[in-house]
């Protein structure tokens, strides 16, 4: 990763690249400096000054620039760090579970027009999507973190049994709530395309009580 050194006036006066473990270093005269990190394609800068420990946090803003620091003669300043991440994606398919066995079997069709909500760890809806003609949906360009999904079934439909069989072919939705049965933890660059929901046609039972 390219790291630029800037003087007190904000002019670039040097440049280097990080080594195999992400470290960089500039030998400088005493004075006031800042750095600018040139993020590689596909990477974004993480939150600045998070956590309260300057030795561990990221010190660059969204544009890749740090604040200015002043170094004295002989000082070894090692706290100008930068955290980068790739966005993540999540999605897959809503299908009609014709035999109600909780597993996507050959020939079972996707369901178009189903609303899917993406919730953050605090329970707020951060995005919504609608399944396409094949029953597929996708949330992309997400910041890594914890999420869960909520599916809104069409009228007259409910959800099939959850967590039956293989992870790629089961339904991941709690039938009682329409929410995924576990948190979705997305790491930098994750593409998780196996969060499915199986729908079943609801039936009815009843008649009459009389005196």
Q: What region, left, alpha or beta, does residue 36 occupy, with left being phi > 0 and alpha being psi -120 to 50 degrees?
A: beta
Confidence of residue 88 (pLDDT cuts 50, 70, 90): very high
Task: List residues bridging with 163 in a β-sheet.
Answer: none
Mean pLDDT over residues 113-142, rounded?
97
What's the chain's length in residues?
A: 211
Confidence of residue 116 (pLDDT cuts 50, 70, 90): very high
Q: Higher confidence at residue 51 or residue 85?
A: 85
Average pLDDT of every residue of the chain: 95
Confidence of residue 195 (pLDDT cuts 50, 70, 90): very high
CA dist 152 and 189 (Å) reads 28
CA dist 78 and 86 (Å) reads 25
pTM of the model: 0.82
Rounded percentage of the chain residues whose pLDDT exceeds 90: 94
Alpha helix segments (H runs only) across the chain: none
Confidence check: pLDDT of 51 > 90: no
CA dist 157 and 165 (Å) reads 22
Tell me how far apart the terminal alpha carbons of the chain are, to the nearest angstrom.
Answer: 82
Token output for 164: 């039956």
- Which pLDDT does position 56 carry in this prediction? 93
- Which pLDDT does position 4 carry in this prediction? 98
Confidence check: pLDDT of 203 > 90: no
Confidence check: pLDDT of 167 > 90: no
């Amino acid at each position: 990763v390219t790291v630029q050194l800037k003087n007190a006036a904000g002019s670039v006066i040097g440049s280097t690249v990080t080594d195999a473990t992400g470290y960089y270093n500039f030998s400088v005269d005493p004075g006031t400096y800042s750095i600018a990190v040139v993020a590689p394609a596909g990477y974004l800068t993480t939150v600045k000054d998070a956590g309260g420990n300057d030795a561990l946090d990221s010190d660059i803003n969204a544009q890749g620039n740090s604040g200015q620091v002043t170094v004295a003669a002989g000082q070894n300043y090692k706290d100008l760090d930068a955290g980068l991440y790739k966005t993540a994606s999540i999605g897959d398919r809503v299908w009609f579970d014709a035999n109600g066995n909780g597993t996507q079997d050959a020939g079972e069709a996707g369901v178009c027009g189903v609303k899917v909500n993406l919730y953050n760890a605090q329970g707020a809806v951060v995005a919504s999507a609608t399944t396409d003609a094949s029953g597929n949906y996708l949330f992309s360009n997400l910041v890594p973190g914890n999420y869960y999904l909520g599916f809104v079934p069409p009228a007259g439909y409910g959800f099939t049994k959850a967590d039956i069989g293989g992870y790629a072919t089961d339904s991941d939705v709690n039938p009682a709530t329409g929410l995924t049965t576990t948190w979705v933890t997305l790491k930098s660059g994750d593409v998780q395309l196996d969060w499915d929901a199986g729908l079943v046609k609801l039936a009815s039972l009843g008649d009459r009580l009389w005196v």
